[in-house]
Amino acid sequence: MFGNVIGDFITGFQFLTRIPIKAQTQWSPNSFSQSVKYFPLIGGIIGLLLAGIVYGAQGLLGVKIPMHLLAIGLILFEIILTGGLHCDGLMDTIDGVFSGKPREKMLEIMKDSRVGAFGAMSFCLLIFVKYSLLMDMDPKLLPLAVLVMPIVGRTAVVIPITFYPYARPEGLGKAFYQSSHKYTLYVAGILAALLLIPLGKIVIVSGVISIGFAFLLSEYVSKRLGGLTGDVYGATIELTEIVTLLVFIIYS
């Protein structure tokens, strides 16, 4: 049983990051779906790496990096760390949902490997907004904010995976969806609570608001597409990270 837990965690880690792990795991639909409950822990590892960069840049290593360079570095590092997977999902989702086409055409557009005008603009806006939020963040709160941001984002995505139907008969995202259920959400919620609640009130508030946003986003897109896709899962992570940073600024 413990071996299955480790294997499922590694499956999720290998999918959500580009950090090389030598462990050999069998990627199966069941392993994919079982890995979902460990998404908050994977977000925690990403957050620790981002927070470590901030602590180092703020003078821990004797070198203080200007804030604008730090903000760019954090954004670039997260994109490299995740392989740009979630950004790609956001672009595809925006291209499809805002195309003004019927449902089937929306799904076809989202599956197209080419990026449309709406997708390109959404990526530029994502980078600009995230950069602006990091620049406006209280430097004392920045390490905590970038630690919490990936945890909340990867906890929030469990909601669309477990609560909403999959819009296509097949697809990589369906491997996460097909064996996930409310138990998955309960375990992910408990892990997220153990990680976030000890960090204080502002973290709890940002988590609650971001998860509420994930529900609203999932409901809206599901009505447009007749369900959700892996691209929507990626978009959920990116947008809830933005909401998390925004809450930190408002409540700081």
Reported confidence tier of residue 3, pLDDT bands at 50, 70, 90: low
* Mean pLDDT of the chain, nearest integer: 86
* Selection from 8-22, 47-61, 74-88 with the highest mean pLDDT: 74-88
Residue 164: pLDDT above 60?
A: yes
Question: Taking Cα atoms as reference points, which of 28, 37, 40 lies closest to residue 175?
Answer: 28
Please give the average per-residue pLDDT across 211-235, as a whole number.
91
Q: Which residue has the higher pLDDT, 28 or 104?
A: 104
Question: Taking Cα atoms as reference points, which of 46, 93, 74, 184 lies closest to residue 134?
Answer: 74
pLDDT digit string (tens) for 170-197?
766 666 666 667 788 888 999 999 999 9
**Taking the alpha carbons of 33, 37, 41, 46 in that order, is the dihedral positive or negative?**
positive
Residue 231: pLDDT above 70?
A: yes
How many Cβ atoms sit within 10 Å of the Cβ of residue 210?
A: 25
Q: Which residue has the higher pLDDT, 50 or 19?
A: 50
Reported confidence tier of residue 107, pLDDT bands at 50, 70, 90: confident
Is the Cβ–Cβ distance between 43 and 150 less than 8 Å?
A: yes
d(CA 155, CA 43): 8
Residue 24: pLDDT above 60?
A: no
Region of poorest pLDDT, from 115-119, 147-151, 158-162, 174-178:
174-178
Token pair, residue 3, equals 């071996």
DSSP characters over 91-118: HHHHHHHTS---HHHHHHHHH-SS--HH
Please give the average per-residue pLDDT across 16-30, as a whole number.
72
